Chains A and B, each alone.
Chain A
Amino acid sequence: GAGVSQSPRYKVAKRGQDVALRCDPISGHVSLFWYQQALGQGPEFLTYFQNEAQLDKSGLPSDRFFAERPEGSVSTLKIQRTQQEDSAVYLCASSLTDKETQYFGPGTRLLVL
């Protein structure tokens, strides 16, 4: 079956612009996670949804970051007033249920100029 998909794959933004990153999880997967990966580092947790409920947003670096999953399927990560330090790969992962193996999408590479 289809894996996790993300769009866009690449995004170049000017500093101060708002961006929206989309994640389409594996069909039937209840849990959805967003991670941020800086160059040469491991992914870092941003936020987690179980169905439409955002259960953990402790990793969001500032109030400029906002995520939603209104119908319990597709999720959007929005970054307002982008800064250069937001440049990273944003990875989405889904799992069948809580605490099971997470499968990653291809990521969105964001470059803020």
Chain B
Amino acid sequence: QKEVEQNSGPLSVPEGAIASLNCTYSDRGSQSFFWYRQYSGKSPELIMFIYSNGDKEDGRFTAQLNKASQYVSLLIRDSQPSDSATYLCAVMPGTASKLTFGTGTRLQVTL
């Protein structure tokens, strides 16, 4: 079992719809969770981080964390073509500072 798992996609949603990206992790001791966006040929760019169970909203983005289920998600409301990118879920364990990434989910927002 991979430490951080994501569906590689592509996930295709029409413009204006809600995109839902999911991530599961195996280390129950994980403390911090991050979503990065990566455009093709570019480096990862932080979208959101979440530490506590529940929802965290920032503009069109909502991160959801459920530590009991070891599940993190990212919702993107009113999806735009500029949101088309790969979304990387990253987990920081409680005992270390390094990030463990999933393979990323490729999102395509269609006109």
Interface residues of A (CB under 8 A from B): 31, 33, 35, 40-45, 48, 55-56, 59, 89, 91, 93, 95, 98-99, 101-107
Minimal beta-carbon separation of A61 from chain B (angstroms): 15
Interface residues of B (CB under 8 A from A): 4, 31-32, 34, 36, 42-46, 49, 88, 90, 92, 96-104
| Complex contacts, A93 vs chain B, CB 8 Å | 99
| Complex contacts, B45 vs chain A, CB 8 Å | 104
Minimal beta-carbon separation of A8 from chain B (angstroms): 15
Q: Is the Cβ of B96 less than 8 Å from the Cβ of A56?
A: yes
| Of the residues B31, B49, B96, B101, contact of A43 by C-beta under 8 Å | B101
Q: Is the Cβ of B49 less than 8 Å from the Cβ of A101?
A: yes
Q: Is the Cβ of A99 less than 8 Å from the Cβ of B92?
A: yes
A-B contact count (CB 8 A): 55
| Complex contacts, B90 vs chain A, CB 8 Å | 42
Q: Is the Cβ of B44 less than 8 Å from the Cβ of A104?
A: yes
Given contact pairs A42-B103, A42-B104, A44-B101, A107 touches B96 in the complex (Cβ within 8 A): no
| Complex contacts, A105 vs chain B, CB 8 Å | 43
Ranked nearest first, the 5 interchain pairs of A and B with the lowest CB-CB distance are A42-B101, A45-B98, A104-B43, A107-B43, A104-B44
Minimal beta-carbon separation of A77 from chain B (angstroms): 15
| Complex contacts, B4 vs chain A, CB 8 Å | 42
Q: Is the Cβ of B43 less than 8 Å from the Cβ of A41?
A: no
| Complex contacts, B101 vs chain A, CB 8 Å | 42-44
| Complex contacts, B32 vs chain A, CB 8 Å | 99
